[in-house]
Structure 1
Amino acid sequence: MFSQTYYLIRSRIDGSYLAAYPKLKEDEARSPANGYVLLFQEQFDALGYLNKYAGEMSDRFVTESIIGSQMTSLLDRWGYKGFGIVKDPLIPTIEFLSKS
């Protein structure tokens, strides 16, 4: 996992990463502390996800690559809870991994 390259989706407007917030309670806010940054194993998977779920807004996003050794520093910098590895971008099937 640490030597593999993953792809993230990032907003061109505010620089935030596309994240999932599973099982949020009503009183919980959508903050990085409650979110999982979505990772894609291939760039075309990330682009396919954008086209399917944000087709009209896809020009507002960009894909970035990250290697496994940079993943912990990304979580530390932005304060996300963990990563969501997207296994199938069209359904989508996501495997959640927490930092702790």
Structure 2
Amino acid sequence: MFSQIYYVVRSRSDGRYLTAHPETASKGSNSPSFLLLFNEDFEALSYLNTHGADVADRFGVESVPGSQLKNLLKRWGFAGVGIIRDPLLPNIEFFSLD
């Protein structure tokens, strides 16, 4: 995992990363956020075009070396990562930082 390059989606306006909140119990609760990772840049673009075509132009795709993931997760306070296995469905595998 740490020797691979991953791709993330990031907002061009405020620099925030695209995340998932799988444990949202109620509105207003601070559920843990998971950074969404893609194995290829075209998968990230496909995800954007499929699930957010009307806002896709507001986001960019960036590469992140696996060796920098742990520091990025800690700096932004993410609980872990969600690796997109199929960008069209989407099929996501969640991994905790623990």
- Place the TM-score, normalised by the shorter chain, in its bin: over 0.9
Structure 1 match to 2:95: 97
Give every structure 1 segment of 4 or more consecutive aligned residues whose post-TM-superposition deviation is greater than 2 Å. Answer: none
Distance 2:75 2:89 in 1: 30
1:41 and 2:42 aligned: no
> Share of identical aligned residues, percent?
51
Measure the CA separation in 2 of the matches of 1:67 and 1:57. 26
1:71 and 2:72 aligned: no
**Structure-2 separation of matches of 1:91 and 1:23:** 19
Larger proportion of helix? 1
CA distance in 2: counterparts of 1:36 and 1:51, whole angstroms: 21
Distance 2:7 2:13 in 1: 18
Q: Which amino acid aligns with 2:29?
A: E
Counterpart AA for 1:24: T
1:29 and 2:30 aligned: yes
RMSD: 1.0
Does 1:83 find its partner at 2:84?
A: no
Gaps of at least 5 residues in structure 2 are: none
SS at match of 1:56: coil
Paired residue secondary structure (2:14): coil
1 CA distance for matches of 2:89 and 2:72? 26
The Cα of 1:20 is off from its aligned counterpart by 0.4
CA distance in 2 between partners of 1:45 and 1:68 (Å) = 17
**How many residues align structurally?**
97
Under a length normalisation based on structure 1, what TM-score does the superposition of the two structures give?
A: 0.93
1:24 and 1:58 mapped to 2: Cα distance?
24
Letter in 2 for 1:28: S
Uncovered stretches (5+) of structure 1, i.e. residues with no partner: none
